Amino acid sequence: MTEPQATEPQIAEAQTTEPRATESQPGRTAFVFPGMGPFRFTDVGEFLLTNPHARRRLAIADEVVGYSVFDRYRQSDGDEEGQYAAHTQIAFLTVCLSLADWAEETLGEKPELCAGPSFGQRAAVTYAGSLPFEETVRLTAELARCEEEYFAQEHREAVTHCVIHTPEESLRKALGELDDEGEWHDVSGHIDQGFYLVSLREPVLDRFKKRIGDLGGYNMYTMWPPVHAPSFGGLRRKAEEEVFGGFELADPKLPVVSDQNGALLTEAEGVRTMLLDTFNCPIRWPDMVETMREQGITKVCISGPDNLFGRVNSTGENFEVLAIDARKAMRPRVRQRSARRARR
CATH code at position 170: 3.30.70.250
Cα–Cα distance between 228 and 197 in angstroms, integer? 9
* pLDDT over 90 (residue 152): yes
Number of domains in the chain: 2
* pLDDT over 80 (residue 6): no
User: Whole-prediction pTM value?
Assistant: 0.88
Residues 146 and 171 occupy one common structural domain: no
Residues 189 and 274 occupy one common structural domain: no
In-domain check, residue 312 = yes
Residues 187 and 277 occupy one common structural domain: no
Which structural domain, as residue segments, surrounds residue 165?
158-223
Tell me how far CA of residue 293 lies from CA of 111, 162, 303, 306, in angstroms: 14, 26, 19, 21
Cβ neighbourhood burial of 189 (10 Å; 0-12, 13-18, 19+): buried
Mean pLDDT calculated for residue range 105-111: 94
Greatest mean pLDDT among 20-24, 206-210, 332-336: 206-210
* pLDDT over 70 (residue 342): no
Task: Report whether 64 contacts 52 (CB < 8 A).
Answer: no
- The pLDDT, as a whole number, for residue 38 is 74
In-domain check, residue 17 = no
Residues 132 and 246 occupy one common structural domain: yes
Q: pLDDT (tens digit, 9 = 90+) per residue, 58-80?
A: 999 999 999 999 999 999 876 66
Residue 11: pLDDT band by 50, 70, 90 thresholds? Answer: very low
- The pLDDT, as a whole number, for residue 333 is 62
Mean pLDDT calculated for residue range 124-134: 97
* pLDDT over 50 (residue 211): yes
- The pLDDT, as a whole number, for residue 312 is 92
- What is the Cβ-side half-sphere exposure of residue 330, based on CA atoms within 13 angstroms? 14
- The pLDDT, as a whole number, for residue 78 is 65
- The pLDDT, as a whole number, for residue 276 is 97
* pLDDT over 70 (residue 12): no
**111: closest CA among 261, 328, 257, 283?**
257
Residue 37: pLDDT band by 50, 70, 90 thresholds? Answer: confident
Type of residue found at 60:
I
Task: Report whether 219 contacts 207 (CB < 8 A).
Answer: no
Q: pLDDT (tens digit, 9 = 90+) per residue, 156-197?
A: 999 999 999 999 999 999 999 999 999 999 999 999 999 999
* pLDDT over 90 (residue 22): no
In-domain check, residue 295 = yes
Q: Which of 189, 223, 257 is the last residue of a domain?
A: 223
Q: What is the CATH number for 94? A: 3.40.366.10
- The pLDDT, as a whole number, for residue 284 is 97
* pLDDT over 50 (residue 244): yes
Q: Which of 173, 199, 223 is the last residue of a domain?
A: 223
Residues 147 and 119 occupy one common structural domain: yes
Residues 194 and 308 occupy one common structural domain: no
- The pLDDT, as a whole number, for residue 337 is 42
| Chain centroid offset of residue 221 CA | 15
Torsion of CA 259, 263, 266, 268, to 10 degrees: -60
Q: What percent of the chain has pLDDT over 90?
A: 78
* pLDDT over 90 (residue 1): no
Cα–Cα distance between 197 and 161 in angstroms, integer? 6
* pLDDT over 70 (residue 4): no
Task: Report whether 268 contacts 228 (CB < 8 A).
Answer: no
Task: Identify which has the larger pLDDT, 95 or 4.
Answer: 95
Mean pLDDT calculated for residue range 124-128: 98
